[in-house]
Structure 1
Amino acid sequence: MNTFKSLLVGAATARVALGQYCEHQWEGKFANHDVDGVPYLQARQNVPPPPLEIQPLIVSGPTSNRVNFLFLGDGYTEDEKDKFFADALYLANNVTDGQTFVDVVPLMNFWAGFSPSAESGVGTYGTPRDTVYGLYRDGTELRGLYYDKPEVARAACQSTDTCDYPILLGNDPFYGGLGGTFTVTTASPNSGPAVLRHELGHSIIGVGEEYDGGEVYEGVNAARSPATAPWKQWYTDASAEPKVERSNMPIQAYPWTLLNVTSAWSQSFASAGTYATHLLQVSVSGMTATADLRVDIDGRDVGWRINPAVGVDRFIYNIKIDEPLAPGQHVITVTLLNEELEGTAQLCNLEVLEYGGEEEFNFDPTYHGLYPTFSSSNRTTYRPTNDLCLMRSTYTGNFCSACIEGLWLSLLGPLSFVDNVTQTTGPDGATNVTLELLPLAQFRQVPYPRAEGYEILWYGADDGVVLAEWTNSTSALIAAGTEEFGVEVRFWTEQVRVDEDGVLVQKARYTVV
């Protein structure tokens, strides 16, 4: 409790320049590239890398043909090295074990790289501690976690072949993160995995937010108008689209304020009274029990109940109320009831959403259509699902279909379907060629419930002639005297319906040796 109390004192000092509505300061789809299109992480600089002790966490194949994610520990002293490796392994297992990245694990490697920090933990009030990468909170509130030494992190990533996506892991038990060039998360056992999977969505797929109150809405999960939705191939009922699911956000607030028992926090808002139901989303931290806090709308307790697994960490609560708001003015009141929590209990943010009736709003979590999203400036964009995607609901474990399709294409883009090619020439001069493919489809090492497969075409010296007898075989016999042969590998998965860049089809020529 003392640690948490010291963390929150003075939460109102956050720099306004970063935007009071920013949950995570995301650097954008092209954050890894400078203006000339050269990958930012590959740009050389005169900064020596820190010493790295690297351990494998989850390894599915060679670094040269996998997308490699490297946890870089910040705020871990030499005495906390074992804790760092345990924290990194916990996060890697959590985001790949049965959810989020489970479908694409064969394309990924996870590693952990330890460098000792002189001080333990992360900084606050915009001031880093004496750590390797200088992670800090802008104020003390539990949201963005920023880095002060990007050049050191870049040098660390460049010093090893185990780093395509660097993940800065802060030695801190509470909520915080960032997406972009460097994915940032903390060692919080509850919020750490949730933040990591959300921020990796930004970093890998290049998508923006889906939750209300953000600033960046772009990518395969965002549309500025119903007609421009890039996920039309995933509509559950294409004949009904474009039909915007009817909802409204009459209030959105980001107080980031410490609560006290003397005066409750309250704010008024207006409703047109034309919606069937409503939802209150409220985010708080520093609570220890349900009896610590009361949340009212118009003096009526909405039934806030603490999530006991969270402890004093920040958590986002969604309270659905199956009745309409009356037309006119309303008041939300948040009251701290436990005096012992003064200086620690914090109201982070809240919003109210109103929903149309059964014919106007589809609550089916798997339904893909057009759902409004309201930005920090109340500009409306559209998202594919209601609350299915972790880009909207951080604590869910799954992407929507549009995002998982984007994930496949982003990860497969730099990879080859062919891990290895072996050639053996017999006494008759014919060459037996064998392909080793990425462990997808029939080559997966664990049972997989989704439909996917490979198609393989072999070509002789003339690329226009298919060696039909070897079609869909990973081995072929190339006739004696042939100097070259071709291989075309096509991969398909039910999770990709549109592949505009032809990522799922690869063709290459090989020399007979």
Structure 2
Amino acid sequence: VADSMLTAEQREAYAQTKMFKSANTWPGSEVRTLVSQGPSENRIDLTIVGDGYTEAEKCKFFEDAKRLTDDMFVGHTFASYLPLFNVHAVFVPSHESGLTDVEEKDTALGLYRSPQGSKRGIMPGNYSAAERAINLAPDTDYPILVANDDFYGGLGGRYAITTRSHNSGTMVLRHELGHNFGNVGEEYDGGQVYSGANHSHSSNVPWDQWVNGELKVESAQCLATSYPWKNLAEGPVQVNLNVPEGDQKGPRQIGIDISSVGWETRDDVKILIDGEEQKYEGVYTNDRSFFRLNEAKDLSPGRHVLEIRQNVEDGDNVLAAVRVNAYPADYDFTADKVGAFPSFNYAGRMVGYRPTHESCLMRNMRSTKFCEIDQENMWHQFLNRIDLIDDIKVTTLKGKDGEDMRQVKLETPNLEGLTIKWYGWKVPDHDPDQPPPDPVEVELEQLQGQTTWIADPGDRGQYRAEVSFATDEVRNYSDRFHATRTVTV
């Protein structure tokens, strides 16, 4: 996150802790590197810091940090980027276990829920402590704060904040890191920030390289977008809908999506349209979840009332959000299909277009994958920070006859899809009776693909390594996908 997005308090805390990093200590702390892929100066360093873990829960923290790391990099989400990353876990002891909510907890970083009693935002309480803990790691490009709490919550920005929740912790972290890694805004409807590579203000979208065939610009209408965050024990929630008429292609299709907290069984809550009970599909849990009314897509034109009411009086059935859209009969719901799909902000106003309907985790929180546009964009963002060549090292070896030989070793990130070429200087063939022409650079085809080779005594001189990277996840390349470096042997 740019310094301009930090508050004055955050900037001061950040500057002070950076100033004294070399002398930074924290009694009882421990740092472990979970993933080591190369030198920090040419890798992206993630640092995971736990809050609300007591000394007795140190092992629990490191297990949680390892699980979150595996969820991100062993699974589909960030797996292809793994060779570019180092991951560090920092334990700092808290006096009390848990997360400040209705009850205040004495924790190392002071994370707290906002508003109290909700499963929503988790705010950084002590910026200086957070920066001090982060600076215990060997290096940090993206800090992650993990609250020792079993329920949904988090925040984006300078820190990607999440919880240890097995249900939602990784889900939140994937999404927030998607913002931070890609420097992009939301894809789901009802948000505030729509910007970056996954958003276009016009139908002239910048991701045409991923469109198969002719670009189809989709249309839709937002019928309702609401964030009640209401405990249904206080009473039902009603949403008035006005379904528009169809057109010559057919009637409108209605999409109803609901976000919840605490709906543990399908009996906990009833959803009705015009008094008729509806089926809804999703994951039942006491944590945050997301549901869809698949059988409600054929609502007739005109006015309807959507009602969400508590059925089981267990006191924890919270309605978080409701979004209702109307789609034309020929709308393309095909999974992963790239096109131009309309996005609506918190006021229900169309603000532009996103690349896919909903297969991307920047829109669908339950998804574990990015759309092709976000995926390609992250390669560009990462390689803007990282060089494809770490170093070229030359060491002296003894030959069979005792003569000095040189071993040349090219070090690169361990990426699949690297092409390695070597070049040297050679005097072109010429008339021996004439002065020799200037040497020209030629490719040493016998060294193609080699990271290590031996230079005989007669091979000494200047050489150039050229490394290029290609992947199916990128169609538009920049010069950052190419690196070159010279070495004298």
- TM-score range relative to shorter protein: 0.7 to 0.9
List per-residue Cα deviations over 1:430-469 (Å, max 9, x = no partner): 644121322122xxxxxxxxxx342424344999613333
Shift of residue 509 of structure 1?
2.5
Alignment of 1:413-428 (within 5 A): 413-425=384-396
Residue number in structure 1 paired with 2:82 = 105
1:399 alignment partner in structure 2 = 370
Change (3 A) 1:382 1:85: same
Partner of 1:465: 441
* Equivalent residue letter for 2:464: G
How many positions carry a matched residue from both structures?
459
- Take 2:153 and 2:440, find their aligned partners in 1: how far apart are those partners? 55
Percent identity between matched residues is 33
Alignment of 1:127-142 (within 5 A): 129-139=105-115, 140-142=117-119
Q: Distance in 2 between matches of 1:434 and 1:149?
A: 46
Residue deviations 1:89-109 (CA, integer Å, cap 9, x gap): 111111222310111112222
Matched, 1:495 2:478: no
Distance 1:31 1:467, change over 3 A: farther
Q: CA-to-partner distance for each residue in 1:303-337, whole Å, 9 max, x for gaps?
A: 025624xx310101122236433222211101101
SS in 2 for 1:493: coil
Cα distance per residue 1:362-402 (max 9 Å; x no partner): 11112111111111122322111111110000111000001
Q: State whether residues 41 and 157 of structure 1, in contact with CA within 8 Å, keep that contact through their aligned partners in structure 2.
A: no
Summarize the alignment of residues 115-134 of structure 1 with structure 2, pairs less than 5 Å apart.
Answer: 115-124=92-101, 129-134=105-110
Distance 1:81 1:315, change over 3 A: same
RMSD: 2.9
Give 5+ residue unaligned stretches, structure 1. 1-26, 442-451
Q: Which residue of 2 aligns with 1:77?
A: 54
Larger deviation, residues 198-207 vs 405-414: 405-414
Aligned residue in 1 for 2:219: 246
Aligned to 1:486: 464
Give distance in 2, aligned partners of 1:352 and 1:202. 25
Q: Output the TM-score relative to the length of structure 1.
A: 0.82
Distance 1:463 1:98 in 2: 50
| SS across alignment from 1:72 | strand
For 2:442 and 2:196, the matched residues in 1 are separated by 38
**Residues 52 and 147 of structure 2 are in contact (CA less than 8 Å); yes or no, is this contact kept in structure 1?**
yes
Partner of 1:294: 270
Counterpart-to-counterpart distance in 1, 2:476 and 2:452: 29
| Partner residue in 1 for 2:413 | 438
Structure with the greater alpha carbon radius of gyration = 2
Is the 8 Å Cα contact of residues 29 and 180 (structure 1) preserved in structure 2?
A: no
Alpha carbons 1:458, 1:466 under 8 Å: kept = yes
1:164 shift after superposition = 2.2
Given that 2:229 and 2:321 are in contact with CA atoms closer than 8 Å, whether structure 1 keeps it comes out as yes
Distance 2:2 2:459 in 1: 53
Q: Does 1:364 align with 2:334?
A: yes
Match of 2:353 in 1: 382
Give unmatched runs, 5+ long, in structure 2: 427-437
**2:320 pairs with 345, 348, 353, which one?**
348
Residues 199-348 of structure 1: pairs in structure 2 closer than 5 A: 199-227=176-204, 229-237=205-213, 240-241=214-215, 243-260=216-233, 263-274=235-246, 275-305=251-281, 307-308=283-284, 311-321=285-295, 323-339=297-313, 341-342=314-315, 344-348=316-320
The alignment partner of 1:104 has SS state of helix
Q: 1:206 to 1:103 in 2, by over 3 A?
A: same
Letter in 2 for 1:268: N
State which drifts further: 107-116 or 144-153. 144-153
Alpha-carbon distance between aligned partners in 2 of 1:110 and 1:154, rounded to the nearest angstrom: 17
1:454 to 419, 423, 435: 419
One-letter code aligned to 1:375 = N
Residue pairs, 1:141-152, within 5 angstroms: 141-152=118-129
TM-score by length of 2: 0.86
Whole-Å Cα distance in 1 between the matches of residues 42 and 235 of structure 2? 59
2:255/2:324 contact within 8 Å kept: yes
Q: State the shift of 1:187 in Å.
A: 0.5
How has the CA–CA distance of structure 1 residues 463 and 134 changed in structure 2, closer, same or farther, with 3 Å as cutoff?
farther
1:234 Cα shift? 1.1
CA contact (8 A) 2:37 2:413 kept: no
